[in-house]
A and B are shown apart, each in its own frame.
Chain A
Amino acid sequence: MLATIIRRLLQTLVVLLVMSALVFAGIYLVGDPVAMMASPEATDAQREAIRASLGLDKPLPVQYLTFLGQAVQGNFGNSFLTGEPAMRLIIERMPATVELATVAMSISVLVGVPLGIAAGLRPTALSSRAIMTGSVLGFSLPNFWVGLMLIMLFAVQLGWLPASGRGQTVSVLGVPLSVLTLDGWASLILPASTIALAKCAMIVRVTRAAARESLPMDYIKFARAKGLSEKRVLGVHLLKNILIPVVTVAGLEFGQVMAFAVVTETVFSWPGMGKLLIDSIINLDRPVVVAYLMLIVFFLVMLNLIVDIIYTVLDPRVRLEQRA
């Protein structure tokens, strides 16, 4: 197990290296950060001074090597736009996104798994058809539209919930959290539901497929033949066996939400890191974009590792060493 983790970390390093080089080259090709930031009235001398102070006057490979040298020491450079350390800007925004992603995924799993099992148990029943049709809607409605509709209904028409922001936060160990106050929940529930709608649809489908596959199995028949209650058959025997695909999908989806909750965050003005990424890409704020993507890649790799470890817990037949 330890060997696997170390091997994974080494792979991550390679991925990080390749990715940072790509982002560097990509932003270089897209445009000139100085042209985006400097006043259009600036003289050439002023522009050159800006370029030099940001280190953009050196050839690209030199800039990249400088960056690598500093990154190894944990310094990812300062944002061009704000002058603040890029990593700090991201970490400041991270709790909001983690919170949103966690609540959204919890809702999707708590709602999606029972619905999926129900749909798998009686595939032809009317209720199951309704669930499956609903899940198609969940998939296909665009996120920003769902978000705006929820705002129009619950914030503008009914006035029950706020349309934007994070609400009141409580600081836990220096990390501001919305989940501990009622006001925070009021702000959290709409963006979380927006994300959860699409993710829940995914979970329903995966759960249903897995349930349909497992239900005709002998162990379910035996469990039923033994006279176990339906609750126990479904809640223990079936659930345990369908969890592996569900955990895989939920894990991957969680990573997706974390990294790319951009649309939802923008619609709800949720002060998370997705909005930071978009703003930084628009302004060609390279240090922030690079640091952000490096952090996300690292995070996704870790998430996959955790999912793999959960496999071994759920299914003792799975060995990490064989899978790596």
Chain B
Amino acid sequence: MARRWLRLLGVGAALAAMLGMAGPVAARDLIVALKTEPSSLDPQYHALTPNTQISHTLFDALVHADAKLQPRPALAESWTVDGNVWTFKLRPGVKFSDGTPLTAEDVVFTYDRIPKVPNSPSPFTLYLGAVEKAEAVDPMTVRITTKGPAPLLLINLAQLPILSKKAASGPAPEGKTTTQLNSGDGLVGTGPYKFVSWKRGAELVFERNEHYWGKKPDWDRVIYRPMSNAASRVAALLAGDVDLIEDPPTDDLPKLEQNKDLYIEKTPSVRVMYVAMDQHAEPTPGIPLDKNPLKDKRVRQALSLAINRDAIVERVMGGVALAAGNVLPYPMFGSSKEHAEAPKADPEKAKALLKEAGYPDGFSITLGAPSGRYVNDAKIAQAVASMWSRIGVKTSVEALAPSVFFKKRDGYEFSAYLAGWSVTSGEMSNPLTSLLMTRNPEVGEGTTNRGRYSNPEMDKLVREAAKTMDDDKRAKLLQQASNMAMDDYALLPLHFELSVWAMKKDIRYQGRPDQTTLVQYASLLK
């Protein structure tokens, strides 16, 4: 009897040893804890980071935004521009995950489908604004005609993943519907991974696409789990349930960095946190004066000088941010050297400026802020408020649930508010157009300029840049325009967030400034 048990034990031990040896050799699965679950798998349904970071793993676009957000060849191997006509040569030998080859027809089908997707909460037509038409010249050539000079065409096309015409065609006007794509029906792309299953709220499973044209993907399978609670994500990583998590809370970082079983990746992002000030209303809500003091540039400068950006970065953000002097970090496209450094705090000068402007005793103001939309948003607002109060501008913070905050902000109910902006295009025309151009939302200018800063000269420069194809010239125009706005203290940039990922120590993720988690850039250390 005893001998039999011993033998069983021996077999078990041998088995365990075999399994143990097999472990490191066999490729692993990657389990990722996502902060936000995608609302849909249809790559043309909802233009929002949680969705695009998933679709960019299943699909490729004609061009791809690299780790510096610069356009690089992806499905298009090369391209030429002649006036308003762009000709793209497709990469030969690219196959969809079902084995069918990529042709120009797929590209045209994709762009045609975008405006037909019904009920989209944030349509991708945003990226097609400059495009007049797209045609297939031959199976490997796509011709895109733009409405005018379109220097941003490439970076916009990078946001549009290419579907398979064969797989995604259907009886509905848009072909396969969003619901069908959510179930995996028609969800066929050229990306490094392909769809396996999706249980909403529980897990999304991908596996390696054996037909992928690029380097063989590292992982057999990738499993995404939505975990909205940051503490739970950290706990799941510590418990070994997941391999990679997005956005661990800044308070936990020092502890996580000391943990030898983990690796932390920090990447400067293109998300700028800023304070906007009402430069239009007279009087302005939140300041109990007959006159709006924020219209005076000296007052805005004083408010900027009052803010100790380094202290916010160190104490509120736990070092997980970079103090900002502009809306886009230097040396990204169109940002200037003059405002590369964050302005130093100078409360004495700020007080003098206030006095000069006729407010020797300051005034009181309400600073609006969302609570829970950006990293430490309400805390940052509190810090700004105490710094402003120190120069005599008695500030009370109104921190609100994001939905309420945005409603009030869009109704111009704040004299000053804290918000964030992600410069997804990686170049200056994007924040200038949305945040600083004179409000003209019909043509998409100043859509989020709720401080209503208006400088016709700057507007002219930005409009000119939008038509300038020469990169150097355009960069100069944008530098000039952004200098103008910053010299005007049109808004006060505070800091750029660092995007943080935490992972097991044998994994590396190459962080991206657009804050997306693209599993194809996660690798296993050998």
- Please report A residues at the B interface, Cβ cutoff 8 Å: 30-47, 49-50, 53-54, 78, 80-84, 89, 92-93, 96, 148, 151-152, 155-156, 159, 162-166, 176, 266-269, 271-272, 275-276, 278-279, 282-284
User: Taking the complex as formed, is B268 at the interface, i.e. its CB lies under 8 A from any CB of chain A?
Assistant: no
Could you tell me if A43 and B402 are in contact, using CB atoms closer than 8 angstroms?
no
Q: Which residue of B lies closest to A150 (CB)?
A: B235
Docked Cα-Cα span, A279 to B47, in Å, equals 18
Could you tell me if B235 and A36 are in contact, using CB atoms closer than 8 angstroms?
no
- Please report B residues at the A interface, Cβ cutoff 8 Å: 33, 39-40, 45-48, 118-123, 125-126, 178-179, 182, 199-203, 225-229, 231-232, 235-236, 238-242, 401-404, 406-407, 410, 421, 430, 433-434, 441-444, 447-448
A155 interface neighbour in B125, B199, B239, Cβ under 8 Å: B239
Point out the residues of chain A lying under 8 angstroms from B238, CB to CB.
155-156, 163
Could you tell me if B39 and A81 are in contact, using CB atoms closer than 8 angstroms?
yes
Docked Cα-Cα span, A81 to B182, in Å, equals 13
Docked Cα-Cα span, A232 to B242, in Å, equals 51
Chain B min CB distance to A129 (Å): 34
Point out the residues of chain A lying under 8 angstroms from B122, CB to CB.
37-39, 42, 50
Could you tell me if B410 and A83 are in contact, using CB atoms closer than 8 angstroms?
no
Q: Which residue of B lies closest to A85 (CB)?
A: B179
Could you tell me if A53 and B447 are in contact, using CB atoms closer than 8 angstroms?
no
Could you tell me if B202 and A271 are in contact, using CB atoms closer than 8 angstroms?
yes
Docked Cα-Cα span, A38 to B433, in Å, equals 17
Chain A min CB distance to B488 (Å): 22
Docked Cα-Cα span, A176 to B197, in Å, equals 15
Could you tell me if B434 and A41 are in contact, using CB atoms closer than 8 angstroms?
yes
Given A165-B225, A267-B232, A43 contacting B421 (CB threshold 8 A): no
Point out the residues of chain A lying under 8 angstroms from B402, CB to CB.
36, 282
Could you tell me if A49 and B123 are in contact, using CB atoms closer than 8 angstroms?
yes
Chain B min CB distance to A252 (Å): 27
A31 interface neighbour in B119, B236, B404, B442, Cβ under 8 Å: B404
Could you tell me if B241 and A162 are in contact, using CB atoms closer than 8 angstroms?
yes
Chain B min CB distance to A224 (Å): 52
Docked Cα-Cα span, A166 to B406, in Å, equals 35
Chain A min CB distance to B231 (Å): 6
A to B CB contacts below 8 Å, 10 in the list: A30-B401, A37-B48, A40-B448, A43-B447, A80-B119, A93-B200, A151-B235, A155-B239, A164-B242, A269-B236
Could you tell me if A152 and B403 are in contact, using CB atoms closer than 8 angstroms?
no
Chain A min CB distance to B183 (Å): 10
Point out the residues of chain A lying under 8 angstroms from B441, CB to CB.
43-44, 47
Could you tell me if B232 and A39 are in contact, using CB atoms closer than 8 angstroms?
no
Point out the residues of chain B lying under 8 angstroms from A34, CB to CB.
121
**Most chain B CB within a 10 A radius of its CB, from A32, A269, A279:** A269
Chain A min CB distance to B298 (Å): 30
Point out the residues of chain B lying under 8 angstroms from A83, CB to CB.
40, 45, 118-120, 178-179
Docked Cα-Cα span, A45 to B441, in Å, equals 8
Docked Cα-Cα span, A283 to B38, in Å, equals 13
Docked Cα-Cα span, A32 to B407, in Å, equals 6
Point out the residues of chain B lying under 8 angstroms from A155, CB to CB.
235-236, 238-239, 241
Point out the residues of chain B lying under 8 angstroms from A30, CB to CB.
401, 403-404, 407
Q: A43-B447, A96-B201, A272-B201 are in contact. List 4 more A-B contacts (CB 8 A).
A: A53-B118, A148-B235, A165-B203, A266-B229
